[in-house]
């Protein structure tokens, strides 16, 4: 049974490269939803939108069509985000978030997927982020039942770009050049997944 399922997942991965020309970019939170945890100093929603805008610019330069689930500081429900994603054909969804924890020492980058079709894209993004952004802890690529990942019919991944509750990482995320590196890494991973 193990060999059989291992072979099945190999086939899934081997055949999961798909042609897409559209990237749905989903900046986490927005409006009344700041993201993060109560009392958090650095606002997740603003940094997520900033990285998403930089990612949009990179992907457009690469000739991809982009759709933003929000392009301003507005509240968009998870249902509406999924509806935007599911209205697209030949598309993938990349959700941009920053992490938070009550334990201030928590740090690093992690990328999530739910459906196996999105696993290769998640792996590419995680690898490229760690390569382009030095001194970041690798928290790995993991399946998780996040709503947008479960409900999107297009392959969907969610990137946690670093912990805003970690003093060192939070300070780093406030630097525009660092957020540009994050966006550039995600963009080149998305381009390589086509
Ligand atoms: Zn978030």
Q: What percent of the chain has pLDDT over 70?
A: 91
For ligand 1, the distance from its centroid to the CA atom of residue 37, given in whole angstroms, is 9
- Residue 94 near residue 50, CB atoms below 8 Å: no
For ligand 1, the distance from its centroid to the CA atom of residue 8, given in whole angstroms, is 33
For ligand 1, the distance from its centroid to the CA atom of residue 11, given in whole angstroms, is 32
* Architecture of the domain defined by 21-70+82-192: 3-Layer(aba) Sandwich (3.40)
- Residue 141 near residue 119, CB atoms below 8 Å: yes
Condensed to tens digits (0 to 9), the pLDDT of residues 57-89 reads 999 999 999 999 999 999 999 999 999 999 999
14: confidence class by pLDDT, cuts 50, 70, 90: very low
**Strand pairing of 156-163 and 109-113?**
antiparallel
Condensed to tens digits (0 to 9), the pLDDT of residues 112-156 reads 999 999 999 999 999 999 999 988 999 999 999 999 999 999 999
Facing residues of 165 across strands? none
What are the phi and psi torsion angles at 115 (to 5°)?
Answer: -85, 140
Higher pLDDT, 13 or 20: 20
Encoded tokens for 147: 């709503």
Confidence check: pLDDT of 183 > 70: yes
Q: Any idea where the domains of the chain sit in the sequence?
A: 21-70+82-192
For ligand 1, the distance from its centroid to the CA atom of residue 2, given in whole angstroms, is 36
What's the mean pLDDT in 87-96?
97
pTM of the model: 0.91
Report every protein residue that has its C-beta within 5 angstroms of ion ligand 1: 28, 35, 97
Mean per-residue pLDDT of the chain: 93
């Amino acid at each position: 049974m193990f060999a059989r399922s291992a072979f099945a997942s190999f086939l899934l991965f081997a055949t999961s490269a798909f042609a897409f020309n559209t990237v749905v970019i989903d900046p986490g939170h927005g409006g009344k939803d700041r993201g993060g945890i109560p009392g958090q100093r650095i606002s997740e929603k603003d940094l997520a939108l900033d990285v998403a805008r930089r990612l949009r610019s990179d992907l457009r330069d690469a000739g991809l069509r982009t759709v933003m689930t929000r392009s301003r500081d507005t509240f968009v429900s998870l249902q509406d985000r999924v509806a935007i994603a599911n209205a697209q054909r030949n598309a993938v969804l990349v959700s941009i978030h920053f992490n938070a924890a009550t334990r201030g020492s928590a740090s690093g980058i992690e990328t999530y997927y739910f459906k196996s079709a999105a696993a290769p894209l998640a792996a590419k993004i995680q690898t490229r982020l760690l390569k382009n952004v030095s001194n970041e802890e690798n928290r790995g690529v993991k399946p998780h039942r996040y709503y947008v990942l479960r409900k999107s019919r297009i392959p969907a991944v969610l990137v946690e770009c670093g912990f805003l509750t970690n003093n060192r990482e939070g300070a780093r995320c406030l630097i525009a050049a660092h957020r540009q590196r994050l966006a550039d890494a995600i963009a080149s991973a998305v381009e390589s997944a086509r």
